[in-house]
A and B are shown apart, each in its own frame.
Chain A
Amino acid sequence: MKRCLIVDDSRVIRKVARRILEDMRFEVEEASDGLEALQACRRQMPNAILLDWTMPVMSGIDFVRHLRKEPGGDQPTVVFCTTENDVERIAEALKAGADEYMMKPFDGEILHSKFAEAGLI
């Protein structure tokens, strides 16, 4: 079973995403900011990371920059999931090492589609 780390400071978003991902047969772990997510990755790298942008302590963009420098940090497929929807922001995320990008609001169909694009399913 593939593992996905959901990183979002909103408990509601984490709950919604967890439900969809579990239906997609992912084992799910949660983190509420970038630093917590980095610590989770150091314990065990997930296959996928669903990542918010704006969070306290460490933002999503800072997290992905740090992650890609970690040993094994090139392995997880990172899918941003954020309200940031400017082309410049998307380009910045891809440059930092994100693999796919999803704009909120989202539903199960979009999440499924994005994970398929990223080769996760």
Chain B
Amino acid sequence: MLSDAEFAIVAREVKTRSGAVLTREVAGPAEIRLQPLARREGFASVSELIAAARIRPDGRLWNGIADSLAQCETRFFRDRALYSRLRDDIIPAAIARRGHERIRIWSAACATGQEPYSIAMLLEEAREQGLNPAVEIIGTDFSDRLLEKARSGLYTQFEVQRGLPIRKLVAHFEKAGDLWRLTDRLRASVRFDNHNLLKHPDHLGQCDIILLCHVLTGFDMETRAQIVQRASELLHPEGCIVLGAGEIMPEGCDGLTFANGVIARTGAARRAA
């Protein structure tokens, strides 16, 4: 277990780099998650890793520590009701608004990619039914380690059994040894990019739908509002930010309206009503 002093400095540095708030209860799991990094960097213990990070000026070890502690709790089709809404209402409405133009969906803090790939599966199935939605899907995370796994499209048997109906597994995956690999077509349909939610997402361009599902809970209240506010600046005027089941818009978001799990610009929400 990390000492109080070690935990305090790790929590401070992680918050600076990723915004994530570490609570004291995760000190034990945090040490376990840092052990592979300590080994790779040639340290005998996590304490040695932290001590070295404190004296090295380039911040590389701290970045590695923040990456190793990045939130990676995700699954395919998490919140089934939400995916039904996306398929039946939210995505079709965005497509109808855009006409023949391509719509853009951004899955923020997507970790190992299950969320953007779940969207890609929905769209693939729409194509099989004769529809041809023009959609660009972007998945971002600040952790290169998680993005590398997302890009690989390789998942364990445990991961593909959490939330993924068996018919979707058969339709969209193939066996790769002990793992399951998404089809090339599906992998190619999602673009992954490194993005830290503490920074402005300008480079991602305008988005029609932004998925911030189960992301905000890892941050303090002030940071939550900042993330939503920054994301909203990317929104198409009629676009929306989607939160996870049971989540609400943080206080302090200007010009935004929250209803039924979805955040929209106040004017757009009024027009829709």
Contact = CB atoms under 8 A, between A and B. Distances in A.
Interface of A: 85-87, 90-91, 94, 100-103, 106, 109-110, 113-114, 116-117
A85 B162 CA distance: 15
Contact of A85 (B80, B163, B174, B175): B175
13 contacts: A85-B157, A87-B170, A90-B170, A94-B166, A94-B167, A94-B170, A101-B166, A103-B161, A109-B162, A110-B158, A110-B162, A113-B163, A117-B163
A17 to B, nearest CB: 15
B245 to A, nearest CB: 13
Contacts, number: 33
Contacts of A86: 175
B170 A114 contact: no
Interface of B: 80, 157-158, 161-163, 165-167, 169-170, 174-175
Contacts of A116: 80
A113 to B, nearest CB: 6
A30 to B, nearest CB: 23
A117 to B, nearest CB: 5
A100 B169 CA distance: 11
B165 A117 contact: yes
Contacts of A90: 166, 169-170
Nearest to A103: B157
Please classify the interface of chain A as helix (H, G, I), strand (E, B), loop, or mixed, using the class held by over half of its residues.
Answer: helix
Contacts of B157: 85, 103
Given A90-B169, A106-B161, 13 more contacts: A85-B175, A86-B175, A87-B170, A90-B170, A91-B170, A94-B167, A100-B166, A102-B161, A103-B157, A110-B158, A113-B161, A114-B161, A117-B165
Most buried by B among A85, A90, A117: A117
Contacts of B162: 109-110, 113
Nearest to B174: A87
A79 B163 CA distance: 15
B215 to A, nearest CB: 21
A85 B80 CA distance: 24
A91 B169 CA distance: 10
Nearest to B178: A85
Contacts of B163: 113, 117
A86 B170 CA distance: 10
A56 B167 CA distance: 28
B162 to A, nearest CB: 6
A120 to B, nearest CB: 13
Contacts of A113: 161-163
A62 B131 CA distance: 38
A114 B170 CA distance: 15
B179 to A, nearest CB: 11
A100 B166 CA distance: 6
A114 B164 CA distance: 8
B77 to A, nearest CB: 9
Contacts of A87: 170, 174-175
Contact of A100 (B80, B158, B165): B165
A109 to B, nearest CB: 7
Contacts of A94: 166-167, 170
Contacts of B167: 94
Nearest to A79: B166
A71 to B, nearest CB: 27
